[in-house]
Structure 1
Amino acid sequence: MKVIFIHPHGSNFMPGVQDITTIFNIMPPLGIMSIAAWLERHNIEVEIIDCYATPLGVDDLADEVIRRRPDAVGFSTTTSAFREGYRIASAIKERDARIVTVFGGAHPCTMGAPLLDDFPAIDYLVIGEGEQTMLELAQAGFKGVESLPGIAFRRDGKGVFTSQRELIANLDDLPFPAYHLLPGFPERYTLPLFSFPTAPNTSIISSRGCPYACSYCDRSVFSRGFRFNSPEYIVEHVAMLNRDYGIRHVFFYDDLFTFDRKRVAEFCDLKAKRGLKVTYNCIARLEHVDEELLALLKRSGCWQVNFGIESGDPEVLKKHRKFYGLDEVGKKLQMVKKAGMRVKGLFMIGLPGEDEAAIRRTIDYALSLPLEEINVTKFTPFPGAPIYKTIREQGEFDENWELMNCMNFVFVPTGMTKEQLERLYNEFIRRFYHRTRIHWGYTKMLWKSPHSILVFLRHLPEILAFERKQKW
C-alpha cells in the first residue's frame, strides 16, 4: 500500500498581484505530516508533495503522481485551496481511475458528505482528526469501509457520513510529524520575514482545539475541546529538530500555547535543563499575560509573542470575541517589551457590524500600541465559523471559495463598499509601517535578524513591485 499526500497551494493570493508569500513565508504542512508519520509507523509507504514549496501545474502534478504509482492520494485542503485540489484529483482520475482519492482538512470537514454529490472525482472524505481514520482506510485497502467512523462515502450515488470518530485522547501517542518527507526541508521552508532571529527555522503545533467561541474561527477539524502535548514531548520535538535538521528557531503555531500555565512552566524548565539553544515565538491571549508568565517565556528563549487583537472598536469586539478592556492591552504589550521580547499584533478588518469609523478606530488604536509588527487580514466568513450561518443578513457575501484566503474582501458589511475596505486596508498598512519608529526597528534587524535582511535585499524588486500594486 502506497499513499501520496498532496498539499494544494491555490493560485488565489490577490487577482492581478504576484504572490510573494512563497518567497517570504513557507511553513510545513504539519497536518498531513502528522498523518503521514502515523501511517509510516504502521508500515504504510507514504510520500508528500507540498505545492507551496514545489509548485507544479495541474497536468505536471498529475503526471508526477502517476509516475510514482500510488494506491491512493490524500488531499488536505482549506476552503481557498479546495478547487485546485479537486482539479488535481480530476486530472489523476482521468489518467488512472483506479487510484483512490481522499480529501480532508478544514473545508471537507465543514462541508461534509454533500460535497461528494457535486465533486465526483473524490472517493472519500475524512471528517475530523485524520490520523486513525486514514490509517484504517488504508489498512482496509479503501474497500468495505462503511462501518469506519469519521468518513463520508457514496451510497447509491449519494454522499453519506458514517459517524463521528472520537478524538485522540493522548496526543503524545503520535510520532513527530514526518519532516523527512519534505524535499528541501528545512532550507526551502521559512517563517515570515523578520519574525525570527536566525535560520534554519520551522513551526510546531503542540495542541489541538480551542475552548473559546470567536465568531470568525473555524473549529470543524478539532472542535472546541482543548488537548495538548506534554512538556516532555514538546522538548523532545524541539531537540529532534535541532539535532536532525539544525533548526535554531521554532514558531509554536498553537492558538493557545500559553493556555495551561503549568504546561508552559514545565516546558520552560525542561528546555533550560536540556540546554537547548533554540529560540522560539508563540501566540498568546492577552488574558493569560502577566509578569510571571513573561519571565518564564523570556528565560526559556522566547523571542516574539503574537497577540490576536483584531479590532480597536469595543462594540465590534463584544460582538465577535471575548471582550477585554482596550485600555489594558497597551499595558500588557508594554510588559512583553519590558521583558525583552518583540510584540506582533494581529488585526482583522471588514467584520460584520463595522463601518468606516470603527475601522479608523482600529487603525488609530493599532498606531497607539507598542507593536513592532502587525498582520492585517481581510475578514473571511468560513463555512465552519459560527458567523457563517447569518452572514448574508449582515452584508454582501461573494462565496467564491478560491478567494476565501483572508487576502480578498469576499464579504462587505452593510453600508460599506469593497473599494472603501481596500482603501482603508491600504491606509492601515501604510500608516503603520511608514513611521520613523518602525523604520528604526527594522534597521536594528541588521543584527537581530540578519537572515531576514539578506532575503529582503535579495528580493527587493519583487517587494517594490508588490508595494506599487498595493498603493502603499
Structure 2
Amino acid sequence: MKVLLMVAPSVGALTLEASNDIAQNMGFYPPLGILYVGTYLKRNSEHEVHIIDSESERLTYKDIEEKIKTIKPDVLGITAFTNTLKNVLDVLKIAKRVHPACITVLGGPHVPLFPDETLQFKEVDYAICGDGEYSFKKLVDVLGEKSPADIKEEELKKIEGIVFKTSDGTIYKNGYARVKDIDSLPFPDRAFLRKDLYFCILGKKRLMTTIMSSRGCPFQCTFCNTPDKLYRYRSAQNVVDEMEYIVSMGIEEIFFFDDLFNITAERAIAVCDEIIKRKLNVKWAFRGRVTGINEELAKKLKQAGCERIQFGIEKATDESLRIVKKSSTVEDIINAVNLTKKYGMMCVGNFLLFTPGEGEKEAEEIIRFALKLKLDHAEFSVFIPYPGTQIYNEGLKSGFFAKDYWAEYVRNPDPNFQLLWEEKVPRERMYEITARAHKRFYFRPRIVWNELKRTTNWTEFKRKLNGAMIVLKLR
C-alpha cells in the first residue's frame, strides 16, 4: 500500500498575537512523530512510505492537492494539534475530493483530548491515541488492499490506541498506545526530508535537527495538557548512537525535543559521559527543569558540547510557582540560571503571564524577575487555558467559563477562536504588556552587545537580525 504521512500547514491556525510572531520565527523543527511512525513502517513492512512536512516546505493547499494527486495514497496519516484542527480537516477534505479511496488516520496530541469529537467528521476514518509506531503499522496491515466492507471490526478492536466508528455508529476506543522500550525503535530516518529546511533562530550552525531521548512527563503543572504522564527514557548508549548517526549526515547542531531532558541529573550525566567517552564533536541544546541541574551536571554538559539550556521558569515568586504546581522555587531558578552561565552556556527562560488571579502587578513582577536573571533569551507568553488542563477544568467547574468553549470549537473549528483567562486584564492589554516585555528584555545594551559578540557567521547574524525585527514589530 502507498502510505502518506503529513504535517498540515499552520497558516491560519489558532495563535496568540503577542508571542506567536516570535514562536513562528524561532525556526522549523523536523516532525519527529511522523518520522518515527514512517521509519518503523518502512523498516517492518513492504508498504511504500512518503512523508511531507507542509510547514518547513511552506506548502500551500494547492501544492498539497498536487502532491496527493501525484502520490495517490491508499492511507493518509496526519498529525493533529487542537490549534491546527481546521488546517488538518482542510487537508483531509482535499484528499477525499481528489482521491476518494484514500483512508484517513489522525494522530497527535489532539486525539486523546477529543477522541469522540475527532470521529464526528466524515473526512476522518480512524484515529490513534498515543504512540503511533506499532498501532499505525497494525492498522495499515489490517486495512491491506481490502475494500471497506471486508475490514473486520474485531481485528481493528485489537489495535492499542485505535479510535473508530463501528458499523452501528458508536465510537470504539481502545485506550492509549505506548511504546515502553523506546530503545527498540529504529532511529527516525531523516532522509525522508530535506535537512536544509530545519534551523533554530538561536542556533549557530547552518544545519540542525531534533532528537527525543525520552517520552512522557510525570509532572502536574496546572497549565499543561500533555496527555502522556508515563515517563520512559532511552539508554545513554542508544541516544548517543543516534547523535553519531546525525553527525555522520553532516548535521552540526542537535536540539533535544524531550518535554524535559534533565528530569534527573543522573540520567543527563550518563548521556554526557557517553558523548565525552566517544569524543563526539557536536553542539546541542535542551529543554530542562531548574530542579534537575547541579554543579556536576553543569560541568559535564559543557564538556559534552551543550551550548544552550531552555528553562520553563514561568513565575517570579514561590507562592505563584506553588499555585501552578511547578515543584520549584525562586532559589531553584536562580541557582539553575547561575550554574548554566558559570559554565559558559546560553540560558533561555520561558515565562507565563496572566494565569488565574494574576493582573498587571503580577505580570510586572515576572518581567522584572526576568530582567534580573542572567538570561540570554526570554519568551513571555500570555496564558491560554488549554483543554485538558487543570486550570481549564476548574474554570468550567467554577462557572468562570459559561460553557465548554473548547468542546464547541472542536465540533466546528473557527480560526478566529481565542480563549484567554480574562479575569483582571482585557486581552488587548495582555498583548500590549507581553509585547513590551520582549522589547524591555531584548533592547538592553548587555543583551545586544552579548549577541553581537557571540555571532560567528553570516547565517547566524541574519537570523538574529530577523529576530530583532520581529520583536520591534510586536504591538
Aligned length: 456
> 1: distance between equivalents of 2:213 and 2:414?
29
Please give the secondary structure, in 1, of the residue aligned with 2:352: strand
Contact 1:116 1:158 in 2 (8 A): no
1:357 aligns with 2:335: no
Deviation at 1:412, TM superposition (A): 2.7
> 2: distance between equivalents of 1:45 and 1:99?
14
Partner of 1:42: 44
Residue 116 of structure 1 aligns with an amino acid whose one-letter code is L
1:347 aligns with 2:351: yes
Partner of 1:380: 384
Deviation at 1:467, TM superposition (A): 4.4
Q: Deviations over 1:70-91 (max 9, x none)?
A: 1100010111111101111012
Contact 1:111 1:383 in 2 (8 A): no
Partner of 2:175: 164
Contact 2:298 2:340 in 1 (8 A): yes
Change (3 A) 1:157 1:25: farther
> 2: distance between equivalents of 1:64 and 1:20?
30
Change (3 A) 1:219 1:374: same
Residue 446 of structure 1 aligns with an amino acid whose one-letter code is T
Q: Deviations over 1:227-264 (max 9, x none)?
A: 01111111110100110x21111111212211233332
Deviation at 1:329, TM superposition (A): 2.1
> 1: distance between equivalents of 2:96 and 2:173?
24
Partner of 1:423: 432
Change (3 A) 1:328 1:22: closer
Deviation at 1:57, TM superposition (A): 2.5
1:136 aligns with 2:138: yes
1:238 aligns with 2:243: yes
Change (3 A) 1:324 1:468: closer
> 1: distance between equivalents of 2:104 and 2:400?
37
Residue 284 of structure 2 aligns with an amino acid whose one-letter code is Y
Gaps of 5+ in 1: none
Contact 2:18 2:431 in 1 (8 A): no
Contact 1:71 1:99 in 2 (8 A): yes
> 2: distance between equivalents of 1:218 and 1:258?
20
- Which of 446, 456, 462 is residue 454 of structure 1 equivalent to? 462
Residue 301 of structure 1 aligns with an amino acid whose one-letter code is G
Partner of 1:146: 157
Q: Alpha carbon RMSD of aligned pairs, Å?
A: 2.5
Deviation at 1:270, TM superposition (A): 1.7
Q: Deviations over 1:319-376 (max 9, x none)?
A: 2123433144223311211111111101111212211111111111111111010122
Residue 6 of structure 2 aligns with an amino acid whose one-letter code is I
What does 1:57-136 correspond to in 2, within 5 Å?
A: 57-117=60-120, 119-136=121-138
> 1: distance between equivalents of 2:22 and 2:313?
25
Change (3 A) 1:23 1:412: closer
Deviation at 1:404, TM superposition (A): 9.0
- Which of 413, 429, 446 is residue 437 of structure 1 equivalent to? 446
Of stretches 162-171 and 362-371 in structure 1, the one that deviates more from structure 2 is 162-171
> 2: distance between equivalents of 1:423 and 1:20?
14
Change (3 A) 1:283 1:468: closer
- Which of 316, 321, 337 is residue 320 of structure 2 equivalent to? 316
Please give the secondary structure, in 2, of the residue aligned with 1:113: helix
Contact 1:7 1:51 in 2 (8 A): yes
What does 1:12-51 correspond to in 2, within 5 Å?
A: 12=13, 13=15, 24-43=26-45, 44-51=47-54
> 2: distance between equivalents of 1:444 and 1:16?
28
Change (3 A) 1:469 1:282: closer
> 1: distance between equivalents of 2:307 and 2:19?
32
Please give the secondary structure, in 1, of the residue aligned with 2:199: coil
> 1: distance between equivalents of 2:275 and 2:327?
34
Change (3 A) 1:56 1:282: closer
Change (3 A) 1:61 1:377: same
Change (3 A) 1:159 1:350: farther
1:204 aligns with 2:224: no
Partner of 1:56: 59
> 1: distance between equivalents of 2:418 and 2:95?
32
Deviation at 1:216, TM superposition (A): 1.5
Deviation at 1:451, TM superposition (A): 2.9
Partner of 2:274: 270
Of stretches 318-327 and 336-345 in structure 1, the one that deviates more from structure 2 is 318-327
What does 1:258-337 correspond to in 2, within 5 Å?
A: 258-337=262-341
> 2: distance between equivalents of 1:111 and 1:42?
30
- Which of 407, 413, 423 is residue 422 of structure 2 equivalent to? 413
Residue 123 of structure 1 aligns with an amino acid whose one-letter code is D
Change (3 A) 1:310 1:14: closer
Of stretches 258-267 and 273-282 in structure 1, the one that deviates more from structure 2 is 258-267
Change (3 A) 1:157 1:316: farther
Of stretches 147-156 and 18-27 in structure 1, the one that deviates more from structure 2 is 18-27
Contact 2:86 2:415 in 1 (8 A): no
Deviation at 1:159, TM superposition (A): 4.9
Contact 1:6 1:75 in 2 (8 A): yes
Partner of 2:371: 367
Deviation at 1:279, TM superposition (A): 1.3
Please give the secondary structure, in 1, of the residue aligned with 2:313: strand
Report % sequence identity: 27
TM-score of the pair, normalised by structure 1:
0.90
Change (3 A) 1:23 1:306: closer
Q: Deviations over 1:193-240 (max 9, x none)?
A: 1x22323111111100111111121222xx211101111111110100
Q: Deviations over 1:4-47 (max 9, x none)?
A: 01101321356799967666500000011001111011122211
> 2: distance between equivalents of 1:387 and 1:413?
13
